[in-house]
Amino acid sequence: AKEEEEEVVQNYRDCTIRAFLLYLIGGTIFTNKSMQYVDVIFLTYLQDLSLVNTWNWGASGLAYLYNYLEKATKPRCGNHGGYNCMFQAWIYEHFKRFGGGGASAKYRHRDPICAKYLPMKGYKYPDEHRTTLNRMEVDEVTFRPYENHRHIRPFEDIC
């Protein structure tokens, strides 16, 4: 009876972990335009919990974001899905005028870039962003923001 009870507890535990992970990835990395629904296809990747840490979630999230950014360029598109935290960090790193509200004192070079910025106030309306982008000069765009991270995360210079 104890073994059977332990199996039931383990089953509940696994189901709870799967539900939480589905909520986590559906609400952060793989958000869609509805902002309410999670695609059940992600349950496929959560069947074997011992393999969850082997999936490349960052690259998958980036591909998902690129897909939604492509859709956002279409006329009459009012919003987009995808990993907006990653997109926001990319904007802060490349366009200093947006600034990200300043750098966090807790940031260390080994942390993800998005941990570098504090939340910023203002820019509630798209017209404010458009005006800011229209006024930017070439020297206000950072074309190589990760130059000082090469000793930590080396990558091939291809551009």
pLDDT tens per residue across span 31-81: 877 767 888 888 888 999 999 888 888 788 888 888 888 887 888 877 777
Looking at the chain, the whole-number percentage of residues with pLDDT higher than 90 is 10
CB atoms within 10 A of CB 116: 18
pLDDT on residue 27: 81
pLDDT on residue 130: 72
Average pLDDT across the chain, whole number? 78
pLDDT on residue 105: 78
Instruction: Give the residue carrying structure tokens 């993800």.
Output: 112
pLDDT on residue 115: 73
Instruction: Give the residue carrying structure tokens 């923001």.
Output: 145
Tokens of 73: 């360029």
Question: pTM of the prediction?
Answer: 0.59
CA dist 147 and 99 (Å) reads 18
Condensed to tens digits (0 to 9), the pLDDT of residues 112-125 reads: 766 777 666 665 66
Q: Is the pLDDT of residue 97 over 60?
A: yes
Q: Are 29 and 64 in contact (CB under 8 A)?
A: yes
Tokens of 91: 């904007």
Mean pLDDT of 87-110: 72
Give backbone dihedrals phi and psi of 141, rounded to 5 degrees, phi first. Answer: -105, 130
Q: Which H, E and C letters describe the chain, residue by residue? A: CHHHHHHHHHHHHHHHHHHHHHHHHHHCCCCCCCCCCCCHHHHHHHCCHHHHHHCCHHHHHHHHHHHHHHHHCCCCCCCCCCCHHHHHHHHHHHECCCHHHCECCCCCCCCCHHHHECCCCCCCCHHHHHHHHHHCCHHHECCCCCHHHCCCCCCCCCC
Mean pLDDT of 77-95: 75
CA dist 101 and 114 (Å) reads 12
pLDDT on residue 158: 58
CA dist 13 and 17 (Å) reads 6
Q: Is the pLDDT of residue 159 over 60?
A: no
pLDDT on residue 1: 67
